Structure 1
Amino acid sequence: MTGIRFQHYDWAGGREAMLRFGPDAGPIALAALPLFEEANRTRQFACTILRALAERGIGSVLPDFPGTGESLVATADATLSDQRRAYSALAQQLGADIYALSIRSGALLEGDATLAGRWHLSPQSGEELVRDLERARAAAGRAEGDYAGNRLSSERIAALREAVPRGDGRCRIIRLDTELRAADATYPGAPLWRRSEPDNNIELAEKLAADIVHWIAA
């Protein structure tokens, strides 16, 4: 099958929705969007990458995790540990030959999963994520603990601060050419996660899909 299918997966804490793109067999890219508002800004872009992968014969999954997307778990009630458990459970259910495709802070969710490889687009540490959340909270004049309308406990903020992307094993880091940080490759493009509204970049998505295909094949 090469179309887009709406499905579900189960983990110890319940059931979450997911979209499947492309074939069910062969290598599968398990996508993780950034946490919080950046997820809304990058979802369309991520789907464009996954559709481009499907056209190249690579299947993929875009799941909701506890507290994200259409999850029945409220954002304020979700924990990083639960999100990681859900990610690991899904990776195990998908079988072997699973590759992470993580954007920004999405790379913080995959650390406990057994994967064939990790592909990160502009990975962000938990400390960097919290700094962004604090700046946005201050700019909006919101009360302590209120982040874009979400109440996040001090315990959750502390857990995020300590989280870092896992970079061992087979890991490829991609960045935009405006980022002055180490990377395996860079591509020109604007950081869509910084836009005030959701946006897309089809040309960049096609280039990134080609990069992923070549990396998996290698």
Structure 2
Amino acid sequence: MAERVVLHYFNGRGKMESIRWLLTVAEVEFDEVHLTDREQYEKLLSDGVLMFQQVPMVEIDGMKLIQTKAILNYIAEKYNLHGKDIKDRAMINMYSEGLMDLMEMMMMLPFTAPEDLKTKLDTIESKATERYLPVFEKALCGPVFLVGGKLSVADVQLLECSLMLEEKFPGIFAHFSNVKAFQGRMTRVPAISRFLQTGSMRKPQPDQTYVKTVMEVFNIQLPIIR
């Protein structure tokens, strides 16, 4: 019997949340080891398991993987969520990286100085509606999925991103009906439906406890300038 996948990260969304989503869609069960203090992080460093001294770190198939894109690509390849050929994978990767850019902007909001928060929110909303969502609205004009007529990592990330956007900007999909319809279809997938229920491994929006833990583990001060 294969060993269970183990995720090493904070008890919060961050960059690990996309990995949780993808494992869920692949119907892979996983355990989590939450970083709660500086000593845990230093132990991982001293053990030499964090290439580039970064988390997320995922134990899977006898490996200790870091770098979010590399982890997502491995899971997508293993569970047939990365297209049928090299051309599909190129399209999937383009969509995926665009979505990650947008989600990373939202991930940084809890670490933003209060006086800068409105400006950051306005920037995210503007970029979402003018740069990112039009791409997906056009891509979903007819097709059920983004690439090759089958579910891929890009679809999973688009659902995750769409839900994050609605948390911050209710009604943002008023002019993006294809994306909203896609979201509805995806939430009816049984594994996703379970993941969206209370008590699942999905993490809530980050709170001050999450922010404080991240700051203490990495020994950095707010605000983070990006």
For normalisation by structure 1, the TM-score amounts to 0.34
Compare the two structures and name the one with the higher strand fraction: 1
For normalisation by structure 2, the TM-score amounts to 0.33
If you compute each CA radius of gyration, which structure gives the higher value, 1 or 2? Answer: 2
For CA contacts below 8 A with separation 6 or more, give which structure has more relative contact order.
2
